[in-house]
């Protein structure tokens, strides 16, 4: 079975459209984050969240009402929402404060939330989970997350430069950067909280989105040895078309598992699964439209090594012919 | 079947049996109460706090305290040395790492230098104007003190948690001055927190004045006499109003000299904590009590006088803390026994996961895994027909090896780890897709089934290595970034990547070889491949 039979699309012709589309998405994301802010999860923003399981689920309004009446300072800053599957009868209350960051009183806000809800007759409930994060934790995590991301990009850049060549590495890393930015934009559009799980998913996207790119680059390298007459753009275009089927299928299977997570993985993994889904889609798009285009842009400004010299070390399927050629040149 | 293929098949079967035994059987055994030997149960896949329920705490060790303590002690030593040499200079501590001396008479400069010689190991001395000197703690000493206080705090917390009897706690340093405490199965957070964070500093000091209702009543000329300090305490055992005692700053005996503490009752049958001192402490305590018979001894716990009994006779290695409530007795003995914290702890983060929340997470994780598996199985069978079975077998092998390895190396399965498990299915099968697509391509180029299969595997292998390594690079940095649950995810991902490389190349290829060898006698069949 084939998804595409002998596809012959001119992907590189669309690269400028792709550049514009990507920039629109990224800038829209930036504007969105700038004006409306990125919703931060509790690990980054700090605060207190309390998950309560009721005998009979009260309405969100009733819980908010209870907080307005009984929570010190009122409940206007509180986020109240049902949590997880409705059959679990759980409600989550999140307030932006923690008890003074001193000793045992860290949990003061959590106790106040519980007391406030208990005071209003909303039926019997028990607290099944609390999370309290002091204000200093978020900044530390942001810094750690950023450095993990930057370091892994550098690692991938180095590895691909070592295995292929530098322009390919630049293409792969720019594509990955693009994926993370676009994913951020979508997280902002859909108002997903930035949580640790989301960051973990973003870092996974970083590793995953290079996969398709590598598959295409691998084919480009293989074809460059076979097709000595075609221009680089043509070789890249042929390579993308030849690998198009597997690019789409591999993204498809990864998407299937991410969709299973989104639908059945529960409340905690929701943001994670959403991030993976967007990351997989944009990762596939960027492998086809961004990574390869960057290689051609990069090569145009820098004089190409490939047109004058032999391809880089050819460990896979160096044909006898090209080996012989190199030998000839070397001697 | 040729010998080579048979050897490979046997290898695969052995791997499968071993990993099923180590990784999958214990899970099923615990679910359905099947018999399983205890050594195998110990190797069971560990569940993270987010799945098992429990308390997760992050505390910061206020390492400034350790510096302040060192600076204060050194300043006190310097004062003593100056007093002995009758040098009339003022010693103050302007910051946590600095001692300032003012008004050293020019004539006594040499004597001062001599008196302050002891400080030179920890402080750098720099002279100022008018006989003033500033001593700044050496940077390497500061770093060492900070690092030591974190280690000591971790060890103290370790002892306290062990005394609490928590099964499989996880206590680890993270970052420069933070300590992570994970207590599975603990639900009373406040109790755990109060025990972990209690300073536990016991000091016995001779009372020089008081009790008095107001601090001012104890001061002389509006200030506290040198070498003395004022400490609050309870008026009586039942609590009551606060009274103040003036005591000598230098402790006669402190909690460092303690060897044991246990709940007991005092002579009035009221709750008390008895403690035993070590040899050094007993000697000091003997001297102090002997020379101060008839005076009061303040028993000070965390800067509060719990009681101040009158010394009746010489006491050496035994003492009793009274004035505590029945509820406090057990906790207090535990805290004293485990030693004092070297610095104050600040709670940065606290997470409680109730057992029901954990069970819900496991349930949804398992559902997502099953649905993900079914979707992928369906897709592979529809798209790759019979060869899809090959990929599915490789995928299931991959999952079994993943579970087995995680159990064997003691990696912890967390909720994000389950997500990693589900993703491993979707991403892992990609390797097979790449190989199969290449085989298709080779078949279309009329290269024959056997050659196409060989070319498919050998040409794609390096590509797979590249994709796996780049994913591995990101996963390795994820370990650096993450706390417990995220690490669980990263470990799952990494092990999944490794086992995937094995199953998608070795296992999958062997299955093809086996299939080909089964039809070796039939030339018609060998010419086609259902892919």
**pLDDT value at residue B240:** 65
Q: What is the least distance, in Å, from the CA of B490 to any CA of chain A?
A: 8
Instruction: Compute the average pLDDT of residues A178-198.
Output: 91
Average pLDDT for chain A: 83
**CA distance linking residue B307 with residue B304, whole number of Å:** 9
Decide which of B419 and A322 is more confident: B419
B148 φ, ψ (degrees, to nearest 5): -60, -40
Best mutation target among A265, A277, A318 (most B Cβ atoms within 10 Å) is A265
Among the ranges A50-54, B131-135, B225-229, which has the highest mean pLDDT value? A50-54
Instruction: Compute the average pLDDT of residues A181-201.
Output: 90
A273 in B contact zone (CB under 8 Å): yes
**A48 has a pLDDT exceeding 70:** yes
**CA distance linking residue B372 with residue B376, whole number of Å:** 6
Does A254 sit within 8 Å of B423, measured CB to CB? yes
**pLDDT value at residue B53:** 87
Q: How confident is the model at residue B284 (pLDDT cuts 50, 70, 90)?
A: confident
Q: What is the least distance, in Å, from the CA of A242 to any CA of chain B?
A: 9
Which chain B residues contact residue A271 at CB under 8 A?
A: none
Q: How confident is the model at residue A310 (pLDDT cuts 50, 70, 90)?
A: very low
Selected residues 43-62 of chain A with any CB under 8 Å from a CB in chain B: 51, 53
The number of helices, as runs of H, and strands, as runs of E, in chain A is: 11, 4
**pLDDT value at residue B527:** 64
Best CATH choice for the domain A47-133 from the list 2.70.70.10, 3.40.50.2300, 3.30.1540.20, 3.30.70.3220:
3.30.70.3220
Does A131 sit within 8 Å of B351, measured CB to CB? yes
**pLDDT value at residue A322:** 44
Could you report the per-residue pLDDT of B75-109, keeping only the tens digit for each?
Answer: 888 888 888 888 888 888 888 888 888 888 888 88
Tell me which residue in A133, A215, A258 faces B423 most closely, judged by beta carbons: A258
A139 in B contact zone (CB under 8 Å): no
Instruction: Compute the average pLDDT of residues B260-285.
Output: 80
Q: Counting beta carbons within 10 angstroms of the beta carbon of residue A290, is it exposed (0 to 12), middle (13 to 18) or buried (19 or more)? A: buried
Matching fold, domains B3-51+359-526 and B203-324: no
Which chain B residues contact residue A104 at CB under 8 A?
A: 190, 193-194, 197, 347
Matching fold, domains A11-39+137-307 and A47-133: no
Non-local CB neighbours of A173 within 8 Å, separated by 6+ positions: A153, A156, A157, A160
ipTM: 0.83
Which chain B residues contact residue A214 at CB under 8 A?
A: 463, 466-467, 470
Which residues does residue B239 pair with via DSSP β-bridges, in sequence order? B236
Instruction: Compute the average pLDDT of residues A9-29.
Output: 88
B293-302, B311-320, B370-379, B501-510: range with lowest mean pLDDT? B311-320
**A309 has a pLDDT exceeding 70:** no
A93-97, A143-147, A323-327, B220-224: range with lowest mean pLDDT? A323-327
Instruction: Compute the average pLDDT of residues A246-257.
Output: 93
pTM of the model: 0.79
> For the domain B3-51+359-526, what is the CATH code?
1.20.1640.10
The SS3 of residue B424 is: helix
Tokens representing A8 are 């012959």
B312 in the Ramachandran plot: left (φ > 0), alpha (ψ -120 to 50) or beta?
Answer: alpha
Handedness of CA B414, B416, B418, B421 (dihedral sign): negative
Average pLDDT for chain B: 83
User: What is the H or E stretch that residue B301 is in?
Assistant: strand B297-301
Share of chain B above pLDDT 70, in %: 96
**pLDDT value at residue A331:** 37
Does B189 sit within 8 Å of A214, measured CB to CB? no
A15-29, B51-65, B286-300: range with lowest mean pLDDT? B286-300
What's the 3-state SS for A186-243?
HHHHCCCCECHHHHHHHHHHHHHHHHHHHHHHHHHHHHHHHCCCCCHHHHHHHHHHHH
Could you report the per-residue pLDDT of B296-331, keeping only the tens digit for each?
Answer: 888 887 778 877 777 777 777 777 777 777 777 888
- CA angle, residues A324, A325, A327, in degrees to nearest 5: 65
Instruction: Provide the residue ranges of all domains of chain A, joining segments of one domain with +.
Output: 11-39+137-307, 47-133
**pLDDT value at residue A313:** 40
Instruction: Compute the average pLDDT of residues B21-48.
Output: 80
Does A265 sit within 8 Å of B486, measured CB to CB? no
Q: Domain B64-142 adopts which CATH fold?
A: 3.30.1240
Which chain A residues contact residue B474 at CB under 8 A?
A: 152, 155-156, 203-204, 206-208
Handedness of CA B405, B410, B414, B417 (dihedral sign): negative
Nearest-CA residue of chain B relative to A148? B477
Best mutation target among A111, A257, A283, A315 (most B Cβ atoms within 10 Å) is A257
**pLDDT value at residue B503:** 92
Top-level class of domain B203-324: alpha beta
> Which residues in chain A belong to E strands, given as ranges?
47-54, 79-83, 90-95, 125-133
Tokens representing B109 are 């400069």
Nearest-CA residue of chain A relative to B366? A265
Share of chain A above pLDDT 90, in %: 35
Does B353 sit within 8 Å of A129, measured CB to CB? yes
Q: How confident is the model at residue B483 (pLDDT cuts 50, 70, 90)?
A: low
Q: Domain A11-39+137-307 adopts which CATH fold?
A: Multidrug efflux transporter AcrB transmembrane fold (1.20.1640)
Instruction: Compute the average pLDDT of residues B368-393.
Output: 93
Tell me which residue in B175, B434, B473 faces A156 most closely, judged by beta carbons: B473
Among B127, B145, B143, B124, residue whose Cα is nearest residue B135:
B124
The SS3 of residue B37 is: coil
A133-142, B166-175, B216-225: range with lowest mean pLDDT? B216-225
């Amino acid at each position: 079975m084939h998804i595409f039979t002998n596809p012959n699309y001119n992907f590189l012709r669309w690269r400028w459209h792709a550049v514009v589309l990507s920039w629109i998405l990224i800038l829209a994301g930036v504007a969105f984050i700038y004006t409306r802010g990125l919703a931060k999860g509790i690990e980054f923003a700090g605060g207190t969240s309390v998950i309560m399981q009721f005998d009979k689920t009260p309405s969100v309004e009733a819980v908010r009402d209870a907080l307005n009446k009984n929570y010190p300072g009122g409940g206007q800053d509180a986020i109240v929402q049902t949590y997880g599957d409705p059959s679990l009868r759980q409600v989550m209350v999140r307030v932006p404060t923690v008890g003074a960051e001193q000793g045992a009183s860290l949990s003061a806000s959590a106790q106040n939330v519980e007391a406030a809800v208990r005071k209003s007759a909303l039926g019997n409930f028990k607290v099944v989970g609390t999370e309290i994060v002091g204000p200093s934790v978020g900044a530390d995590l942001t810094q750690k997350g950023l450095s993990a991301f930057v370091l892994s990009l550098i690692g991938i850049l180095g590895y691909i430069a070592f295995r292929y060549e530098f322009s390919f590495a630049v293409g792969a890393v720019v594509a990955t950067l693009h994926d993370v930015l676009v994913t951020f934009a979508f997280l902002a559009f859909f108002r997903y909280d930035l949580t640790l799980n989301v960051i973990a998913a973003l870092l996974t996207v970083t590793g995953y989105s290079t996969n398709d790119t590598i598959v295409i680059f691998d084919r480009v390298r293989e074809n460059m040895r076979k097709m000595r007459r075609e221009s680089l753009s043509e070789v890249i275009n042929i390579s993308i078309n030849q690998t198009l089927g597997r690019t789409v299928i591999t993204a498809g299977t990864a998407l299937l598992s991410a969709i299973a997570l989104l639908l059945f993985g529960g409340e905690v993994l929701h943001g994670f699964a959403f991030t993976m889904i967007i990351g997989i889609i944009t990762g596939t798009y960027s492998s086809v439209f961004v990574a390869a285009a960057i290689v051609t842009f990069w090569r145009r400004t820098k004089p190409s090594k490939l047109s004058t010299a032999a391809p880089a070390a050819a460990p896979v399927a160096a044909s006898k012919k090209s080996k012989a050629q190199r030998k000839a040149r070397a001697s | 079947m040729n010998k080579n293929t048979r050897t490979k098949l046997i290898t695969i079967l052995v791997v499968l049996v071993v990993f099923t035994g180590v990784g999958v059987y214990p899970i099923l055994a615990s679910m359905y109460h099947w018999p399983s030997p205890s050594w195998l149960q110990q190797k069971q896949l560990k569940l993270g706090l987010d799945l098992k329920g429990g308390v997760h705490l992050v505390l910061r060790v206020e390492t400034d305290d350790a510096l302040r303590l060192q600076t204060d002690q050194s300043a006190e030593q310097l004062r003593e040395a100056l007093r002995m040499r009758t040098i009339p200079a003022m010693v103050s501590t302007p910051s946590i790492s600095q001692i300032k001396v003012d008004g050293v008479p020019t004539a006594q400069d040499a004597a001062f230098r001599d008196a302050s010689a002891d400080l030179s190991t920890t402080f750098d001395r720099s002279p100022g104007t008018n006989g003033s000197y500033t001593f700044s703690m050496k940077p390497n000493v500061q770093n060492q003190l900070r690092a030591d206080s974190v280690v000591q705090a971790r060890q103290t917390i370790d002892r306290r948690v062990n005394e609490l009897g928590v099964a499989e706690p996880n206590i680890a340093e993270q970052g420069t001055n933070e300590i992570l405490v994970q207590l599975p199965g603990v639900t009373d957070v406040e109790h755990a927190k109060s025990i972990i964070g209690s300073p536990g500093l016991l000091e016995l000091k001779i009372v020089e004045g008081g009790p008095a209702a107001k601090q001012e009543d104890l001061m002389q000329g509006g200030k506290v006499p040198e070498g003395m300090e004022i400490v609050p305490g309870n008026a009586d055992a039942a609590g009551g109003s606060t009274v103040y005692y003036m005591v000598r700053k230098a402790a006669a005996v402190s909690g460092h000299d303690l060897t044991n503490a246990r709940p007991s009752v005092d002579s009035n049958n009221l709750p008390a904590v008895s403690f035993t001192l070590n040899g050094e402490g007993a000697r000091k305590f003997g001297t102090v009590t002997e020379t101060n018979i008839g005076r009061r001894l303040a028993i000070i716990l965390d800067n509060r006088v719990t009681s101040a009994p009158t010394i009746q006779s010489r006491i050496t290695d035994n003492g009793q803390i009274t004035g505590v409530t029945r509820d406090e007795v057990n906790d207090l003995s535990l805290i004293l026994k485990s030693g004092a914290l070297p610095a104050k702890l600040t709670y940065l983060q606290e997470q409680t996961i109730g057992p029901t929340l954990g069970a819900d997470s496991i349930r949804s994780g398992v559902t997502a895994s099953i649905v993900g598996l079914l979707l992928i199985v369906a897709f592979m069978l529809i798209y790759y027909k019979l060869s899809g079975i090959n990929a599915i077998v490789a995928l299931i092998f991959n999952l079994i090896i993943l579970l087995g390895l995680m159990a064997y190396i003691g990696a912890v399965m967390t909720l994000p780890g389950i997500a990693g498990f589900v993703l491993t299915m979707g991403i892992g099968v990609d390797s097979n897709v790449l190989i199969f697509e290449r085989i298709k391509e080779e078949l279309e180029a009329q290269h024959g089934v056997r050659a196409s299969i060989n070319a498919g595997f050998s040409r794609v292998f390096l590509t797979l290595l590249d994709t796996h390594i780049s994913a591995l690079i990101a996963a390795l940095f994820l370990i650096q970034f993450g706390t417990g649950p995220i690490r669980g995810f990263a470990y799952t991902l990494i092990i999944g990547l490794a086992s995937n490389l094995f199953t998608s190349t070795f296992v999958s290829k062997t299955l093809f070889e086996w299939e080909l060898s089964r039809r070796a006698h039939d030339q018609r069949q060998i010419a086609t491949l259902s892919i």
